[in-house]
Structure 1
Amino acid sequence: MDRTEPIVAEDIAADSTVGYPEPFRTRMGKANWRALGDHFGLTQFGVSFETLEPNAQSSVRHWHTLADEFLYVIEGELSLRTNDGEFLLQPGACMGFKAGDKNAHHLINRSAALAKFIVVGSRVPGDMAFYPDDDLAVFVTEHGRRAVHKDGTPYPSPPSET
């Protein structure tokens, strides 16, 4: 897929599928993202344009073993929750998370308006994410990603979304 012309990010179809099992799935709230990097066939890093509705969160609080992450706020207000506390981010604010740094993080939209941001992350084979606040681990197998309890017991697969 070689794309040679610029696009408007919001012209890419939005995905709102939540890959987490319960009880995390419901906790995420309403959100969507557009896989900008995939649209252009990028393989070394991913770029996602994300929108969180009020009370939604970007993910379960996590950190990555091998992948760097960078986020940039475009619109609205977001609370960034890390090991160091909670920080209010407004348009123009950015933050980076170095691979292997155990500073777990996620974003929460505590405002009454939509919030939009960009996430850029490296795509490194073998990267693992850890979730220090929750009984969750995710493994990548030959059949894709699989959510398990920290003791290795599988969660039921999330139902298909239509």
Structure 2
Amino acid sequence: MPDKSHPIAIVALEADLRKKPSNYPEPFASLMAGREKRSIGDIFGLTNFGVNLTRLPPNAVSALRHWHSKQDELIYILSGRPTLITDDGETKLSPGMCSGFRAASGNGHVLVNRTLDDVVYLEIGDRATGDSVTYPDDDLQAALVEGKWQFQHKDGMPY
């Protein structure tokens, strides 16, 4: 039986922007200024994996450099030329390129737009329960508890 509560197809760039630009606590949330995410997987009621259409204007970043304990992630560049920063160094990406990040790899990643043009990409990740996130460059850690991210300092004190 068809699911009438979700559309069959949409124009992705016409999807609503996330209401809250970042889940991070301050001072980290404001570092995401300019980044725009459209949670297009949610529009279709997807529950096993999420898909975001993300735009980074010049000088914006995708996230804090991070890695997940349980979630695999994949990015696919649609337009623009971001720089991917990992423990292995910097890699310049261009449209049509993609990169994947295995869960529990310990290799933090972030995209940075150092160009004068927007970067648009898809980010795809599973929704593994019990996931946690490590931020190697920042005094921050996160755990997914009952579907919501809870943030703490690395010493365990909550934000």
**Which of residues 114, 129, 149 is equivalent to 2:133?**
129
Structure 2 partner of 1:40: 44
Paired residues of 2:21 and 2:37 also in contact (CA < 8 A): no
| RMSD (Å) for aligned C-alpha atoms | 1.5
Q: Residue 30 of structure 1: CA displacement? A: 0.7
**Which of residues 17, 20, 36 is equivalent to 1:14?**
17
**Which of residues 62, 72, 75 is equivalent to 2:66?**
62
Paired residues of 2:7 and 2:43 also in contact (CA < 8 A): no
What is the TM-score when the length of structure 2 is the normalising length?
A: 0.91
**SS of residue paired to 2:65:** coil
Structure 2 partner of 1:52: 56
1:99 aligns with 2:103: yes
Q: Residue 61 of structure 1: CA displacement? A: 0.5
**SS of residue paired to 1:95:** strand
The C-alpha deviation readout for 1:77-98, integer Å capped at 9, x for no partner, is: 1110100001111101100011
Q: Residue 112 of structure 1: CA displacement? A: 1.1
Q: Residue 140 of structure 1: CA displacement? A: 3.0
**Which of residues 54, 66, 85 is equivalent to 2:89?**
85
Structure 2 partner of 1:120: 124
* Bigger Cα displacement from structure 2, 89-98 vs 14-23: 14-23
Percent identity over the alignment is: 43
Structure 1 partner of 2:113: 109
**Which of residues 71, 74, 81 is equivalent to 2:78?**
74
The C-alpha deviation readout for 1:105-131, integer Å capped at 9, x for no partner, is: 011111111110000101100011111
* Bigger Cα displacement from structure 2, 108-117 vs 16-25: 16-25
* Bigger Cα displacement from structure 2, 125-134 vs 139-148: 139-148
**SS of residue paired to 1:66:** coil
Distance 1:119 1:77, change over 3 A: same
One-letter identity of the residue aligned with 1:6: A
* Bigger Cα displacement from structure 2, 139-148 vs 71-80: 139-148
Unmatched tracts of structure 2, length 5 or more:
none
One-letter identity of the residue aligned with 2:10: I
One-letter identity of the residue aligned with 1:38: D
